């Protein structure tokens, strides 16, 4: 990494900022003569013409719903600021989920940007329920009569004719390259854009730390529109190709001391080339590590004869992410106990898929999967003598839920009310996971030793349709025969 030559870097977002003081480091002396020299003799550089992004009308329809709900209130939706990793190095910026949902601005969003809803004196808007492509055009037209004027404020990158061009490593194009201008972003997203310097907060602003606003914005994402579902399918498809990348490189993982890291890196390589990043930390859990639900250390070996549980998802440029899990036999064949556990988990997953349809409650999908798990655990004799009928003994081997909503956040809509989530009636357009599992920790004296260290999870992403549901990830091998053939093909 080159040595930054700034005296001080500043990240600004609304009313708070991060300041990094580098005064003691080697810095460039900037006087008026050098500034004049650096600001001249630059030729024109062709730029891409601004075009309207396909997300624009969908985001406009979402903003209309927010405007109607919070009429007469000034709303400030901040993208957030860059998070410091060490001194003057930062993590890759990712905007707040609600900011992206309401603007359509994804991976290329500017740190410190804010979306502001300013109420207008008098205005009327009809009920907006646009969730399909056919309704979007009408919804976008309604936005002309919103109860707010909406403005996107952000800092443009510093061009060649400014001191910051070469003197500020956060905004200077010498350091970060050219970024879209206010005009380009305005055209792409269909938003009025202004410099961040013109933004002024007030004591009456309703911001993302407001419980009512946060709750509404999360519930707004419970039902996905056509654009979102298409982005989810892109993310799932990219994730499937990433799983292929891992399977095709299992040999290198087996021979490495920390084979789980090889698996993680193979998926990361694909996530960065096919999308923006992973949607969450990859779980590459081999052997008994698969029994640790959120195993992200990924420093263990990948051994022949054991299972590999891979839980990973590609986040595409729009920031929508997949969340897929497959459990595969590293040698290419399940042994009898592994197969027994795997087929039970698959049966539970299929039972959940079968009941997922409009009109049932969200938790009923989980209930269907758990009924299979409970029955199998009972058949296998894992219940104690004289069991307490009130105790869910099977939960010892699957403590997590079967489903969670999915979207820009991997655990999407987390601030929605319980009656809108766990107890909600399923509607077309809802996207969520189905991910039952069984985990038998080493040393668990309630099960035979031959089960110890076996962890299996099968996770798919589904969308509720008008008459049922569709598995977005059905093309990724799921059955015993498919998975064994998949691994064997990759290890040739």
Q: Is 460 a domain residue?
A: yes
Domain assignment of residue 6, yes or no? no
- What confidence category does residue 21 fall into, taking pLDDT thresholds of 50, 70 and 90? low
| Rounded-to-integer distance, Cα 311 and Cα 74, Å | 41
* Structural domain ending residue among the three candidates 200, 220, 240: 220
Indicate the residue among 220, 254, 273 that finishes a domain: 220
Are residues 230 and 216 part of one domain? no
If one counts the domains in the chain, the total is 2
* DSSP assignment string, 76-136: EEE---PPEEETTEEPPP---HHHHHHH---TTPPTT-EEEEEEPSS---------SHHHH
CA 104 vs. chain centroid, Å, equals: 14
What residue numbers bound the domain in which 216 lies? 16-22+48-220
Q: Note whether residue 2 is domain-resident.
A: no
User: With 60 as the cut, is the pLDDT of residue 483 above it?
Assistant: yes
Alpha-carbon distance of 461 to 184, in angstroms, equals 34
CATH of the domain at 438: 3.90.230.10
Q: Which residues, listed in sequence order, are joined to residue 400 by a DSSP beta bridge?
A: none
First to last CA, the chain: 40
Is 1 among the domain residues? no
Q: Are the C-beta atoms of 156 and 182 separated by less than 8 Å?
A: yes
User: Contact at 8 Å (CB) between 67 and 125?
Assistant: yes
Q: Show the tokens assigned to 408.
A: 């820009």
Instruction: Assess whether 232 and 145 both reside in one domain.
Output: no
287 and 147 share one domain: no
Same domain, 237 and 268: yes
pTM of the full predicted structure? 0.90
CA distance 251 to 195: 53
- For residues 342 and 299, the answer to whether their CB atoms sit within 8 Å is no
Q: What pLDDT does residue 206 have? A: 97
- Domain co-membership, 239 together with 205: no
Per-residue model confidence as pLDDT tens digits over 24-79: 665 555 677 887 887 788 888 777 778 899 999 999 999 999 999 999 999 999 99
48/31 Cα distance (integer angstroms): 34
Asked if residue 88 belongs to a domain, the reply is: yes
Model pLDDT, residue 5: 39
Residues 206 and 346 in one domain: no
Question: pLDDT tens for residues 98-112?
Answer: 999 999 999 999 999
Domain boundary among 220, 248, 267: 220
338, part of any domain: yes
Q: Report the run of H or E that residue 192 belongs to, with start and end.
A: strand 192-195
Q: What is the pLDDT of residues 131-181, one digit of tens each?
A: 565 555 555 445 445 789 999 999 887 777 777 777 777 777 777 777 888
Find all residues with CB under 8 Å of 350, minimum gap 6, and list them.
Answer: none
* Cα gap 318→286, rounded to integer Å: 31
Predicted confidence at residue 122, as pLDDT, reads 55
Output the CA–CA distances (angstroms, integers) from residue 87 to 8, 23, 90, 491, in the order listed: 11, 13, 8, 44
- 362 with 439, same domain: the answer is yes
Tell me how far apart the alpha carbons of residues 470 and 212 are, in angstroms, rounded to a whole number: 32
For the ranges 44-48, 225-229, 312-316, the lowest mean pLDDT is seen at 44-48
Considering the domain architecture, whether residues 210 and 64 belong to the same structural domain is answered as yes
Q: Are strands 75-78 and 206-207 parallel, antiparallel or unpaired?
A: parallel
SS3 content of the chain, % helix, strand, coil (to 5): 35, 20, 45
Residue 337 in any domain: the answer is yes
Looking up residue 142, the CATH number of its domain turns out to be: 3.40.350
Q: Give the integer Cα–Cα distance in Å for 207 and 1.
A: 37
Pairing of strands 84-86, 89-90: antiparallel
Residues 312, 297: Cα–Cα separation, whole Å: 14
Q: Strands 314-315 and 277-278, how do they pair?
A: antiparallel
165 domain-assigned: yes
Q: Could you tell me the strand order of the sheet in which 324-329 lies?
A: 283-286, 307-312, 324-329
Same domain, 142 and 250: no
Backbone angles phi, psi at 366, to 5 degrees: -60, -45
Residues 459 and 318 both lie in one domain: yes
CA–CA separation, 351 and 370 (whole Å): 9
């Amino acid at each position: 990494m080159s040595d930054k030559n700034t005296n001080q870097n500043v990240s600004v977002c609304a009313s708070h900022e991060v300041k990094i003081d580098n005064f003691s480091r080697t810095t460039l002396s900037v006087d008026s003569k050098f500034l004049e020299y650096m600001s001249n003799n630059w030729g024109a550089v062709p730029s891409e013409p601004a075009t309207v992004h396909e997300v624009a009308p969908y985001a406009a329809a979402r903003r209309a719903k927010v405007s109607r709900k919070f009429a007469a209130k000034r709303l400030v939706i901040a993208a957030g600021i860059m998070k410091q990793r060490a001194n003057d190095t930062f993590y890759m910026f990712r905007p707040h989920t609600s900011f992206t949902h309401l603007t359509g601005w994804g991976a290329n969003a500017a740190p410190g940007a804010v979306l502001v809803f300013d109420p207008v004196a008098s205005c009327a808007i009809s009920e907006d329920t646009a969730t399909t492509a056919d309704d979007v055009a009408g919804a976008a037209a309604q936005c002309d009569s919103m109860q707010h004027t909406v403005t996107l404020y952000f800092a443009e990158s510093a061009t060649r004719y400014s001191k910051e061009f070469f003197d500020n490593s956060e905004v200077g194009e010498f350091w970060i390259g050219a970024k879209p201008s206010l005009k380009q972003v305005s055209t792409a997203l269909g938003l009025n854009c202004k410099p961040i310097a013109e933004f002024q907060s007030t004591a009456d602003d309703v911001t993302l730390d407001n419980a009512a606003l946060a709750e509404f914005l999360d519930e707004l994402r419970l039902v996905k529109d056509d654009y979102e579902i298409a982005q989810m399918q892109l993310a799932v498809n990219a994730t499937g190709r990433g799983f292929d990348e891992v399977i095709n490189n299992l040999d290198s993982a087996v021979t490495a001391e920390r084979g789980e890291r090889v698996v993680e890196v193979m998926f990361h390589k694909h996530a960065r080339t096919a999308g923006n990043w992973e949607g969450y930390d990859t779980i590459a859990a081999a052997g008994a590590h698969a029994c640790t639900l959120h195993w992200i250390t990924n420093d263990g070996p990948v051994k022949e004869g054991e299972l590999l549980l891979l839980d990973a998802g590609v986040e595409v440029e729009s920031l929508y992410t997949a969340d897929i899990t497959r459990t595969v036999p590293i040698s290419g064949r399940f042994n009898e106990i592994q197969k027994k556990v795997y087929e039970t988990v698959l049966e539970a997953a299929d039972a959940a898929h079968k009941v997922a349809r409009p009109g049932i409650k969200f938790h009923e999908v989980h209930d269907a999967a758990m009924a299979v798990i409970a029955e199998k655990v009972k058949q296998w004799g894992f219940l104690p003598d004289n069991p307490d009928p009130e105790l869910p003994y099977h939960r010892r081997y699957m403590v997590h839920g079967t489903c969670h909503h999915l979207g820009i956040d991997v655990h999407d809509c987390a601030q929605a009310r319980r009656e809108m989530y766990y107890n909600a009636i399923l509607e077309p357009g809802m996207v969520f996971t189905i991910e039952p599992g069984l985990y038998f920790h080493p040393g668990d004296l309630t099960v035979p030793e031959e089960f110890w260290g076996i962890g299996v999870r099968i996770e798919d992403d589904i969308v509720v349709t008008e008459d049922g549901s569709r598995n977005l990830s059905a093309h990724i091998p799921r059955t015993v025969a498919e998975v064994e053939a998949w691994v064997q093909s990759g290890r040739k």
